[in-house]
Amino acid sequence: MYTIFKNETLIILTDQLNISDKGFRFNWEELTTKEALLSLISEGLDKIVFYHSDLKFMWQEFRNKFKIIEASGGIVKNQKHEILFIFRNDKWDLPKGKIESGESRAEAASREVEEECGFTRLKTGEFVGTTYHLYSEKNEEILKVSFWYEMFSDQSDLTPQLEEGITELKWVKEQDFSSVLDNTYPNISLLMDMYVASNQ
């Protein structure tokens, strides 16, 4: 299964039939063009489920309808088991950025987190997961694929990268996640739910 967000619309690609999704489910074969897909997504439905028996095939076809941009970022934890969030564009977010030519995903994640938060002591750990979201830029439809890594640091003298629009950095305990997740992007909420569940 793949979970993608376009603004607040949840898009699911699956090869499993679930009767509870019947009202929102569309067979992938019905969407023969990119225009038909974009028109459906733009209707502002809360949730759209696309079904095909061959998930790999459907995912490749879905990807082919968009320009792909890959990014990497980090879920940074300190010795107090707090997670570092950044405030950018009036939303709480996690540090990440585009993967540059020649970089591995892990290298890009480490570089971006260091640049955006001012880390000089940062250890990159295990891969956590991938998030997907759609957006439009210069009349082009883009699928952003973000790869996330767990990271660790005991550094406290951090500096937000103002030129990237980051105005605040905040360490948050798990029991206080709602204070930031109430004002974040749906894919970040999904990622943090997955991260918390994997650490229980």
Each residue of 65-117: pLDDT tens digit? Answer: 999 999 999 999 999 999 999 999 999 999 999 999 999 999 999 999 999 99
What does pTM read for this prediction? Answer: 0.93
- Report which of 26, 20, 33, 23 is spatially closest to residue 51, judged by C-alpha positions: 26
Each residue of 112-131: pLDDT tens digit? Answer: 999 999 999 999 999 999 99
**Structural domains in the chain, sorted by start:** 2-63 (no CATH), 67-198 (3.90.79.10)
Each residue of 143-173: pLDDT tens digit? Answer: 999 999 999 999 999 999 999 999 999 999 9
Provide the total of helices (H) and of strands (E) in the chain, helices listed first.
Answer: 5, 11
DSSP, residue by residue, 68-90: EEEEEEEEEE-TT--EEEEEETT
